[in-house]
């Protein structure tokens, strides 16, 4: 069983990457969301390794201390997906499954849709296909209400408000103090919040536009998610043209990797045997 922490340079940025798992087996790249870096997968990885899979986790743009460029445009989705492809290229990983939670799920949908020759399967956790989200936002008030916090995240001064009193607002949302510690370092919140600013300012539809996905896909959603509702999850099947599985967790909140790691690992293992 190997476990290696790496510093990988791509496009002038340096990413913190963890490569681990058995010496042989299919690769899985796991992408974190906001505001927790790749430590969100800590309880998932051992179970995935037990299934015979090797893993790569990346502290993405804005989260790795060496990958915090200035400017909102530096955090567009095309930059975020290119980072993942660059890291995998550096590691000589030609094919892998892609797994993403929250914002990592959005990146994963785009990677799967635009690079079907590079990814053997997709497991999206919590976050539905961007087109499904667009429909959910248009057709009803529920998802608009759930997403109303985004206005606060893209506003001037959001960093100070979220960092105040040791990140109390994020802790109330279910993030632990240990998980918040890296992002509460001076200047560390701007990059992650720029993900929101890059996507949710200007032409939002164009910023998020994503083709249908043609590779085998699993959508894992929890009914206790306060931010991402049922509609955007269930509608995702309309935008998958390959084998598709919808899996619902009951009584679990938004933080599925931390609070239901067994379920996440099981879906990854199942998807790895189906492509």
**Contact assessment for residue 29 and residue 58, using Cβ atoms and an 8 Å cutoff:** yes
So what's the pLDDT on residue 28? 98
The residue among 28, 102, 109, 23 whose CA lies nearest residue 63 is: 102
Nearest-10 Cα torsion for 101, 127, 33, 263: -20
Cis peptide before 142 (omega within 30 of 0): no
Tokens 């993405």, residue?
60
Q: Is 129 exposed, middle or buried (0-12, 13-18, 19+ CB in 10 A)?
A: buried
Helix axes 190-199, 158-172, angle to 10 degrees: 100
The C-alpha atoms of residue 124 and residue 7 are separated, in whole angstroms, by 26
Task: Please report, for the domain that includes residue 44, its CATH number.
Answer: 3.40.50.1820
Counting the structural domains of the chain, the total is 1
Q: Across residues 176-203, what is the average pLDDT?
A: 96
**Angle 16-17-21 from CA coordinates, rounded to 5°:** 155
pLDDT at 231 over 60: yes
**3-class secondary-structure state, position 257:** helix
pLDDT digits (tens, 9 = 90+) for 142-157: 999 999 999 999 999 9
pLDDT at 4 over 70: yes
So what's the pLDDT on residue 140? 72
At 14, which helix (H) or strand (E)? strand 13-21
Report the first-to-last Cα separation within the chain, whole angstroms.
Answer: 24
pLDDT at 275 over 60: no
The pTM of this model reads 0.97
Domain that holds residue 66: 2-272
Q: Label residue 274 by pLDDT band (50, 70, 90).
A: low
């Amino acid at each position: 069983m190997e476990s290696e922490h790496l510093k990988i340079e791509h496009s002038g940025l340096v990413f913190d990457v963890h490569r681990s798992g058995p010496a042989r087996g299919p690769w899985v790249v796991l992408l974190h969301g906001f505001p927790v870096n790749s430590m969100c997968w800590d309880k998932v990885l051992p179970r995935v390794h037990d299934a015979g899979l090797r893993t790569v986790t990346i502290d993405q743009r804005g989260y790795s201390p060496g990958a915090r460029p200035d400017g909102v445009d530096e955090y567009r989705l095309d930059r975020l997906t290119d980072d993942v492809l660059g890291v995998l290229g550096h590691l000589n990983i030609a094919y892998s499954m892609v797994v993403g939670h929250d914002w990592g799920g959005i990146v994963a949908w785009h990677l799967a849709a635009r690079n079907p020759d590079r990814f053997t399967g997709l497991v999206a956790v919590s976050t539905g296909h961007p087109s499904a989200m667009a429909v959910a936002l248009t057709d009803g008030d529920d998802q608009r209400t759930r997403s109303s916090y985004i206005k606060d995240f893209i506003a001037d001064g959001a960093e100070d408000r979220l960092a105040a009193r040791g990140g109390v607002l994020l802790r109330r949302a279910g993030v632990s103090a240990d998980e918040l510690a890296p992002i509460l370092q001076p200047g560390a919140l701007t990059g992650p919040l720029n993900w929101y600013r890059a996507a949710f300012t200007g032409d939002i539809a164009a910023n998020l536009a994503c083709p249908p996905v043609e590779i085998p896909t699993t959508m894992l959603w929890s009914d206790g998610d306060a931010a991402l509702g049922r509609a955007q999850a269930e509608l995702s099947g309309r935008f998958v043209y390959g084998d598709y599985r919808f899996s619902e967790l009951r009584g679990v909140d938004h933080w599925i990797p931390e609070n239901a790691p067994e379920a996440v690992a099981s879906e990854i293992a199942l998807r790895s045997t189906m492509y």
